[in-house]
Amino acid sequence: MDIVLAIAQVLLLVAYTLGAIAIFEGVLYWTLYRKQHRLFWPIQAVIGAGVGALIGYLAGGDIGGVLHWLMSIVGGVLAAAVLGQLAAVFAPSRQIKLAFMLMAPAILVVSLLMLYPFFFELRLAFTNLNLYTINRWIQGQPLDFVGLDNFVKVFTTSPLQTVSFWGLLLRTMIWTAINMAFHVGFGLILALLLNKNIRGRGIYRTILIIPWAMPQVIAVLSWRGEFHPQFGLINTVLETIGISGINWWSDPLPVFASCIIVNVWLGIPFMMVIFLSGLQSIPSDLYEAAKLAGASKWQEFRHITLPLLRPVVVPSVVLGTIWTFNNVNVIFLMTGQGGGNEFADILISALYKSAFSYSRYSFSAAFAMVIFAILTLIVLMWLKVSGGVENPSE
C-alpha cells in the first residue's frame, strides 16, 4: 500500500509540474505574440513582485496544502506575463521570442532555486533562530526580530571558540592568495609545456588531469593519511633524509600548510586545462611572424600569449577564487571532520561549524551574508584591475 501511495504522489507531482509548465508557456505565448500597451508590463511586474513577496513570507510554514499550490500557480502565471512583456519589449525578433519561450521555464526554476534560499537566509539573519528556539519555529510560532544584532556579533565575537572573525578573514585571504598563485602559475607553466609538440603529450595530459578528475573526498582523505604524524609517507621521507617528523595533524602551522598543499595539488589541473585550451586557440601564424621579426621567446609570451590569453585567464581566475574562497571540503576533511581543530579554519569552514556544530542558525545566516559581500567585493576588484569588465572591441 505504501508503494502505491508513493507512486501516486510521484505521478501527482509530475502531473502538477507538467500542468504548471503548460500554463506558464501558454501565458508566455499569449503575452509574447499579442500586442499590448508598453505600460502593461510594469503593472504586471509590480503585481508579480507583490505576489512573490507574499509567497516568500508565507512559505515559511504559515500556509500549506491547496492554498500554497494555488499561490505558486498564480505567482508562476504572473511571472510568465512579466517575462513575456520584458521579452516583447527588449527582444522583438520572432526567433528570439521562440528561443526565450523554450528557455523560460528553466530560467524561472533556476532563478527560484537561487533567489528563494538567498532571501530566506536574509530574512533569517534578522531573527534569533538557534538550538533553543528551533522547536518553537518548527511549530509555526514567529521568531523574534533582533535587527542588526547578528551582524554585529559576526564582527565582535568568535564564530568558533578561539579564533576571531578578523583572524579568519586574514587566514582566508592568505589561503586564497597562496592557492591561486600556485594554481595560476603552475597551471600556466604546465599548459605551456603541454602545448609544445612533444612525444607522449596525450599520456602526460591524462596523468596530470587525474587529481581534478578524482573524487575530492577520496583524494583529500588519501592525502590526510600521507600526513599521518607516525605512519604517513611525508614524515617517513623526512626522517629518511634526517629531518624529524612534523605533527601535521595538531600543530597550528603544519595543519594549515598541509591543507594548502592538498588544495594546490587538486586545483592545478583545472587551470592547466583551461589555459591549454586558450593556448591552442591562438593562431600559430602570429608566432611565425614574431620569429621573422626577431622577437625573443619572452617577447612572444609577453606581447602575443598573455594578451590573447586574457579572455581565458580572467574568468578562470574569478571561478578559481570563488571555489578556493568557498572550499570547505579540504579544510573539513583534513582537520579531522566534524569539529576538528581550528588551526586551519577559514571563513567558510567556520560558517559550516557555526551552523551545524554549534546550531547558531541566524548568526550563521548573517555570517553567510557577510562572506557573500566580501567575496563579491574581491571579485569586482579583480575584474576592475584585470580589465575583465571592459569591451575587448573598444
What does each C-alpha distance from 174 to 22, 121, 157, 219, 262 come to in angstroms? 51, 28, 21, 23, 15
> Long-range pairs for 279-284 at CB < 8 Å and ≥24 separation?
279/191, 279/192, 279/195, 279/305, 279/309, 280/195, 281/308, 282/308, 282/309
Predicted confidence (pLDDT) per residue in 265-302, tens digit: 999 998 998 998 888 888 888 888 888 888 888 888 88
Q: Which grid coordinates belong to 94?
A: 520572432
In this predicted structure, what is the pLDDT of residue 387? 66
Strand partners of residue 70: none
Domains of the chain: 2-121 (no CATH), 155-386 (1.10.3720.10)
User: Three-state secondary structure along 313-376?
Assistant: HHHHHHHHHHHHHCCCHHHHHHCCCCCCCCCCCCHHHHHHHHHHCCCCHHHHHHHHHHHHHHHH
Q: Rounded CA gap, 108 and 83, in Å? A: 9
In this predicted structure, what is the pLDDT of residue 175? 94
In this predicted structure, what is the pLDDT of residue 61? 42
Return the closest-CA partner of residue 312 out of 358, 274, 265.
Answer: 274
Give the DSSP letter string of 73-94.
HHHHHHHHHHHHHHHHHH---H
Return the closest-CA partner of residue 83 out of 126, 117, 112.
Answer: 112
Return the closest-CA partner of residue 73 out of 13, 30, 117, 17.
Answer: 17
Q: Helix or strand or coil: residue 127? A: strand
Q: Rounded CA gap, 178 and 280, in Å? A: 27
Per-10-residue mean pLDDT of the chain, 394 residues long, equals 79 75 71 58 55 50 49 60 61 68 74 78 87 81 85 88 88 93 92 83 81 85 87 86 83 88 91 89 84 82 85 87 89 74 86 86 92 89 70 48
Q: Rounded CA gap, 19 and 14, in Å? A: 8
Give the DSSP letter string of 250-305.
TSHHHHHHHHHHHHHHHHHHHHHHHHHHHHHTS-HHHHHHHHHTT--HHHHIIIII
Q: Rounded CA gap, 44 and 215, in Å? A: 47
